[in-house]
Amino acid sequence: MSEILLPIIESLDEIELSLPSFDEATIRQATEIVSAVKRDGRSAVRRFAARYDGLAAEESLIASSAELLNAKSAIDAATLALLERTAQRIERFAVAQRNSLADLTTTVEGGEAGHTVRPVDRAGCYAPGGRYPLVSSVLMMVVTARVAGVSSITVATPRPTALMCAAAAVAGAENVLAVGGAHAIAALAYGLDELPACDVVVGPGNRFVTAAKRLVSGDVAIDMLAGPSEVLIVADESSDPRDVAINLLAQAEHDTDARPMLITLSPKFLEAVQAALGSELESLPTAMTARQALKNGFAIVAEDLNQAAAWCNRIAPEHLQLAIYDPTRMRPKLRHYGTLLLGSETSEVFGDYGAGPNHVLPTGRTSRYTGGLSVYTFLRVQSWMQLDSPEHLASDVAALATLEGLAAHERAVRRFNSLRGGS
């Protein structure tokens, strides 16, 4: 028997599936930071940037558009071409999404009504720094916001590298705020002297970033409250156990809090996956992180695809890959996921690195009520109405106003009716 690297469970009741609650210390610290930035602006951001980001007093808080273009021109041609190809793929998909939602005009009783689809004015996009600055996230968020029609886009990331600035330039960002954490979210939400407040703040981050997004929500829109990254693979014996193991590790190497999960139909296949995990870890440079993350995940054996589908809907994972012989059989049974990856060849890494659909996705079962970041995140659907002959509506409007006890409403419609010669 191979070493059990991915814990085996008998029932989903053995594990916690939802996002972990914010601990009191995180909420308290995030609240202090957000409140200080909202009150003191630039001076507070400077203070927290020195404390948490190591940003010296003489270093700039914001990289301008000109600085981003300089970073873009300084990177090697092959890297620039890679960023541009990836941005183009993301853009094509985002354009198709945007074109699926159009302005509307329709006839209603007494006239016309409809809606206008309009972007927000300003967007803030948070890209994690840390050990692995996420260049792909910059492209995913900024390109999507630009396609939606957002006129001003700021990226926030702690101590941005030249490559991150180049990616921001390729994607179309206006500037980069060179700080991270809760103070970056607050700065995006409430603005600084030279940085207007954003209308929507998006992007993944650590627990302080997520807590700050929850705190500013309502003052600005947010995309979601993201937790540790997840993948759930459903695999049968038509798949290669080594392929499944590598895809689990691709998720596990994100960070020690990541959650790789496996549903299989065969105990024998599960044993082969465990062996392949051990073999791959021997030569994986990120093995220390991945090995720890595997402990957060689980493997479980299902009786059949119907049971597997029911478990998938209960787990509601961020990434759901169907590495089975015919994924179309199972697809109609699935309701809750951030993104669905159909087939053994459609591994999660293609979604991560810009095949088209966005990789900023809901975690911790929140896909039950929200989707991933898209052009819709940056759009508003605003209704309008023009009534030319609403007389026949007046009696119903007056009656509803009477039911609700709103006398001025009733008086307004009766006034209208009397002016039009009605009763």
Told to judge if 84 belongs to the known catalytic residues of this protein, a careful annotator would answer no
With b meaning 16 or more CB within 10 Å and e meaning fewer, what string describes 67-102?
A: bbeebbeebeeeebebbeebbebbbebbeebbeeee
Q: Within 13 Å and on the Cβ side, how many CA atoms surround 299? A: 23
Told to judge if 67 belongs to the known catalytic residues of this protein, a careful annotator would answer no
* CA–CA separation, 274 and 7 (whole Å): 10
Task: Quote the DSSP letter at residue 256.
Answer: T
Residues 159/128, Cβ–Cβ less than 8 Å: no
Catalytic one of 174, 318, 348, 410: 318
* CA–CA separation, 91 and 93 (whole Å): 5
Question: Do the strands 379-387 and 111-119 form a parallel or antiparallel pair, or are they unpaired?
Answer: antiparallel
Which token pair is 129? 């720094």
Q: Is 107 exposed, middle or buried (0-12, 13-18, 19+ CB in 10 A)?
A: exposed
**Cα end-to-end distance, the chain, whole Å:** 87
Residues 126/202, Cβ–Cβ less than 8 Å: yes
Catalytic one of 319, 348, 359, 410: 319
Give residues with Cβ within 8 angstroms of 49, minimum separation 6. Answer: 55, 61, 178, 179, 183
Angle at 359 between CA 337 and CA 68, to 5 degrees: 160
Q: For 293, phi and psi rounded to 5 degrees?
A: -65, -35
Q: Cite the DSSP H helix spans in 253-331.
A: 267-281, 287-294, 305-315
* CA–CA separation, 187 and 205 (whole Å): 15
> What residues act catalytically?
318-319
